[in-house]
Every structure is written in structure tokens, then in C-alpha cells.
Amino acid sequence: MISVCDLSLWFGEKAILDGLSFDVQKGETLAIIGESGGGKTSLARVLLGLIEGQYWREDKPRPKGFHWSGEAHIEGVDMLRADKADLKSVRGSKMGLIVQALADALNPHLTILQHMQEMLTIHGMTALAADQALLQYNIPQALHDRYVVGLSGGEIQRVLLALALIPKPDCLILDEPTASLDPGNREAAIASFRQGSQQRAQILITHDLDLARTLSDQVGVLYCGRLVEQGPTEQLFNAPSQNYTRSLLKLGAGERVLSGGSSVPRKQNASAVSCPSRWKETAEDRAGPQEGLHVAGVTHAIGDKILLKAQSLFVPAGSCLALVGPSGCGKSTLARLLTGFETPQTGRITWLLAEEGDLSVSGKDVCQDRPGHQATAALIAQHPHRALARHFTVAECLAEPRRLQSQQGGCWGRRTALSGEEEDVKTLLAHVGLPTENAFLARKASTLSGGEAQRLVIARALAMHPKYLVADEPTSSLDMRARTRILQVLHDLKVHHNLALVLLTHDHDAAHFLADHKKQFIDSRLRPW
């Protein structure tokens, strides 16, 4: 049902996929595993004709943008050469896709109910009521009239699952389908992928080794755009033949595996991760009374639905508070309130300075407590592609917060990174495990994988040198190696550099690793599927 032969993809001279070949028959699931940036998401997009580019033959001049060669057939349709009409006939009815970039997957101008109505109309399924279809996938009535901007990552993921599975496609591509789900909804999603899987061909693209082993019949290991190993799931996991596969599986086995299939690092010394010099603490910095983030009586609602009710907390500098709860319980709303992207309807959010008194960080003043001082707050957003300007290069994304601070609120225009900033930019990239080559600095944010975009958002937050950092599901898009590194970076910033950290997550083990205190959010709207 899915046949790929010698598929290659380039952007200019850079090879993204290199000679991939595999077949997936009806009733089979092929898992493609590997680390962020290896080409997994590009594979999904080129199979469905979602990359703007052209077919290329070696006897022709090489184009500057995206181009590809080889063969890829889905239900008999040549996806690499098909015209728009043929591609449209395949998508949705014959081939479904659940994407990783949640922010770009839904129309921001339509409600969730309108999305479902549109999908049912397109596929001639008007006999099925849209509201009942949503309820089947644990999307409660209270969310049906919401727009995308009012949904959490887990809620968006559940909507995408419903839209992809209800038409009962013959083939299904799952690109990190559980990354934004809490453990309860993750198990329900896995059950839905299994239901009907004997009637379709599935490609599971993931860095979650536990998910790959649970769902797949065959596994392919993708490294730098090449399938370095492929075989039956249990055979590959029990007796891998390639060094890269062994290192990938060893990384998973050597860490404490979580219910979500990922892992937490072992705490290390401060020297394990180097920090830019501006983050180095001195004895003088740590002397004196304690500073910290103070939240008093914050209540916030969307319409008549109260998301946060009289929330109060204090996070001292140099400590972490983890707020743990399922999708939709108000974590992302609180993150935006703490960083000033929204103003609390009641209550107060302040950064307490021991020697200078209280300084409000709500509303417009969140990015800068006083001219010439460090920014008070920085946000690691849950949806990395939504948080980045798609047309900015990597260098511009990191240079932007520095220039905004130096302008002290003045006008700022787009420019490339200044030579004096280049070393700081590269230090930030190395700090979160991203490449520091000029070619990567010149890449547009829209071309980054989910894991690369997530790490860039983290690097941009650190570029602001905040007094406190709000991390909203900061590791959900990361592979195990990158996740381990980022958790260690956050731990060292907290312990050795006096940064206050608020972690909002459904990942209990990451919370236990980072937190000095943990608080549980409870949302009675959520129920098992």
C-alpha cells in the first residue's frame, strides 16, 4: 500500500533524505525512529506532497530550493510526480496524517466544531453528527466552540487524532502523535491507533522508543537522512547490527524510562554543562535576603469557564516549582500570565527584590523591570513553531531579544546578526545541543524539525538572561538525548546560577528531577476515552 524506492530529498546542495527504500503492506506498521533533525518529519511531508519543490533528475541542473528523486507510491499514486488533483484525491480518504507541528495544523479562524463539520462534508460523512464525532475522541462540549488559540497542546493533538481517524484512511502517517499528550490520553491514543490498524498501512515517525516497540511490526532507524538499519521490531530491539542503533537503544536503556517513553538525566556537577559568562554567579550575587516570583490570588477565565481560581505561589530564586496536570487544566494559560503575554483578571504577579521592593511584571512591563536591567521573565512556549517567526533565520531569532533589550523599547527593524553577537549566538546554540555552523545559522525557522525548533525556543529564552524562566512542556518535542541535555541545562541554571524556574508539564519524572516543590492541577472536565 505504501512503496518507497531510492527516495532522496535535497534543499539546494544539502541532502535531507538519502536513498530511502521500504514497503508497508496492509495491516503493518513501520516505525521510523531517530533523533531530531534526522529527516523524519521531512519524510512524512514529502510522501504527502506537502513540500513545495520539484522532481529532479541527475541530468538536469540542480534547483536552489527543495527537490527530490526516486519513487514513492501510495495506493498506486506516484506521490513525487502527481499533479494537485491526484494528490488531493489521496489525502484524507486514502492517506491520513497526524502532524508534529500542532500550531500549523488547524485553521485559526475555525472553531473545533467547524473543523469537524468541514472534514465530514469533504468526505461525504454528513450522516455523522460533528459534535458526536468529537465526543468519541474525548473532546468535551465545552471545547467545541473554541478556536485553536484557546486550546492546550494536548487538546489540539486530540482534535487532530479525531480528524485523521474518523475518515478511516487506508494509510496513516503518525508524526510524533503522542508528544503533547498526558499519560492517560497517551494510552487512549495508542488504543485508537491499534483499533482498525489491520485494515490500513501505518508509518509511525517518532523518537519515543517505547511507543515504537509497542505499535510497530517493522522498525527503520533514520540517521542523517539515511536508513542505517531496518528489520522486525523485536529483532532490531534485541539484536541491533549497527553502532548507531546500539547507541540509540543504549541511551534509552541507560536512563530511567518514563511512562511516556522518554527519560530523565542523572544529576551532574555544574561543570557538566558550560554557561555563558553572564550567567556565572559570584558569592556577592548570592549574599543577602532571598528574591523570588510571587503570585497572589490569580484568577483567570475564558468566557464562563474558570481555568485558574485564586492561585497563589512563591518561587525563590535558585529553585523550581513544578505544576503537574493533564492537558487542558490551565498550565499554558498560567505560563502566559506569568510572562505577561496575558494580564490576570484578578490577582497580582510580582518579582520580589530584596533590596528594592516589589516590581510588577504583569502586562506590558514583563520584558524589562527597569531600563538597563536584565529582563525579568522569559517563556519556553509549548508550541515552538508558533513561537518563532517563520521567516527569521536561526541567527535572527537569537539576536532579536538582545536588540529589543538594548533598544529599551524603541523601534527595531529586522537585521542579520552583528559580528559582535556571533559568538554569543553560537554559545547559546551549543548550550542546547544545536549546530553552530553558519549554514544552520542561516536556516529559516520554518525549516526546522520539531526538536530543533523546541531547542531554539529554549536558547532564545536563555538569551534574555531572565530572573525567572517559565517552561511550558519544554521537552515534549525532544528526543531522549536532547531531552537529557535540556533537563540538565535547566537544573544547572536553577542550582548554580540562581534562576527561578516554573515548570508546567504532564511529565511527572521531569518534574521530580527539577522541582524543589510540586503542585498538582486537577481538571474534572477530562475523562478516559
| Close Cβ partners of 393 (under 8 Å, ≥ 6 residues apart) | 416, 441, 442, 443, 444, 445
Q: Residue 69 above 60 pLDDT? A: yes
Q: How far apart are CA 223 and CA 244, in angstroms?
A: 8
Confidence class of residue 214 from pLDDT cuts 50, 70 and 90? very high
Confidence class of residue 102 from pLDDT cuts 50, 70 and 90? low
Confidence class of residue 465 from pLDDT cuts 50, 70 and 90? confident
DSSP β-ladder status, 2-11 and 66-74: antiparallel
Confidence class of residue 279 from pLDDT cuts 50, 70 and 90? very low
List domains and CATH numbers for the chain: 1-94+201-254 (3.40.50.300), 270-289+317-345+352-520 (3.40.50.300)
Q: Residue 434 above 80 pLDDT? A: yes
The pLDDT value given to residue 244: 92
Confidence class of residue 439 from pLDDT cuts 50, 70 and 90? confident
- Minimal CA–CA distance to 97: which of 186, 200, 14? 200
More confident of the two residues 254 and 329 = 329
DSSP β-ladder status, 346-353 and 292-302: antiparallel
Cell of 413: 527593524
Strands (E), 224-373: 226-232, 256-257, 263-264, 292-302, 305-316, 320-324, 346-353, 357-360
Query: Across 108-122, 144-158, 166-180, 372-386, which has the greatest mean pLDDT?
Result: 108-122
Cell of 404: 529589543
Query: Across 12-16, 247-251, 354-358, which has the greatest mean pLDDT?
Result: 12-16
Q: Residue 347 above 50 pLDDT? A: yes
Q: How far apart are CA 135 and CA 118, in angstroms?
A: 16
Cell of 60: 538536469
The pLDDT value given to residue 368: 38
DSSP β-ladder status, 468-472 and 500-505: parallel
Report pLDDT digits (tens) over 400-415.
Answer: 877 776 654 433 333 3
The pLDDT value given to residue 266: 47
Tell me the residue length of the chain: 529
Q: How far apart are CA 81 and CA 490, in angstroms?
A: 46
**CA torsion angle 187 188 191 193 (round to 10):** -100
Region 292-318: mean pLDDT is: 86
Q: Are 520 and 471 in contact (CB under 8 A)?
A: no
Report pLDDT digits (tens) over 216-239.
Answer: 999 999 999 999 999 999 999 999
Q: Are 46 and 68 in contact (CB under 8 A)?
A: yes
The pLDDT value given to residue 521: 62
Q: How far apart are CA 397 and CA 429, in angstroms?
A: 11
Q: How far apart are CA 158 and CA 98, in angstroms?
A: 10
Report pLDDT digits (tens) over 242-278.
Answer: 999 998 888 766 444 333 344 455 444 333 333 333 3
Query: Across 86-100, 299-313, 347-361, 461-475, which has the greatest mean pLDDT?
Result: 461-475
Report pLDDT digits (tens) over 26-55.
Answer: 999 999 998 877 888 889 889 988 888 899
Q: How far apart are CA 322 and CA 521, in angstroms?
A: 10
More confident of the two residues 446 and 450 = 446
- Which residues, in sequence order, are bridge partners of residue 142? none
Q: How far apart are CA 69 and CA 52, in angstroms?
A: 14
Please provide residue 138's backbone torsions phi and psi, each rounded to the nearest 5 degrees: 55, 40
Q: Residue 505 above 50 pLDDT? A: yes
Average per-residue pLDDT for the chain: 80
If you compute the radius of gyration of the chain from its CA atoms, what whole number of angstroms results?
Answer: 23
What amino acid occupies position 393? T
Region 438-457: mean pLDDT is: 86
Q: How far apart are CA 79 and CA 85, in angstroms?
A: 11
Cell of 349: 504577579
Region 139-166: mean pLDDT is: 86
The pLDDT value given to residue 399: 87
| Residue found under cell 466552540 | 145
Confidence class of residue 289 from pLDDT cuts 50, 70 and 90? low
Min mean pLDDT across 221-225, 256-260, 307-311, 427-431 is at: 256-260
Report DSSP letters for 451-493, one per residue: HHHHHHHHHHHHHT--SEEEEESTTTT--HHHHHHHHHHHHHH
The pLDDT value given to residue 423: 57
Three-class SS of residue 128? coil
The pLDDT value given to residue 101: 61
Q: Are 492 and 274 in contact (CB under 8 A)?
A: no
The pLDDT value given to residue 92: 65
DSSP β-ladder status, 218-223 and 226-232: antiparallel
Q: Residue 468 above 60 pLDDT? A: yes
Region 7-11: mean pLDDT is: 93
Confidence class of residue 321 from pLDDT cuts 50, 70 and 90? very high
What amino acid occupies position 166? I
| Residue found under cell 460533528 | 130
Region 148-158: mean pLDDT is: 81
- Which residues, in sequence order, are bridge partners of residue 52? none
The pLDDT value given to residue 371: 36
Three-class SS of residue 200? coil
Cell of 32: 521510523
Report DSSP letters for 273-286, one per residue: S---GGG---HHHH
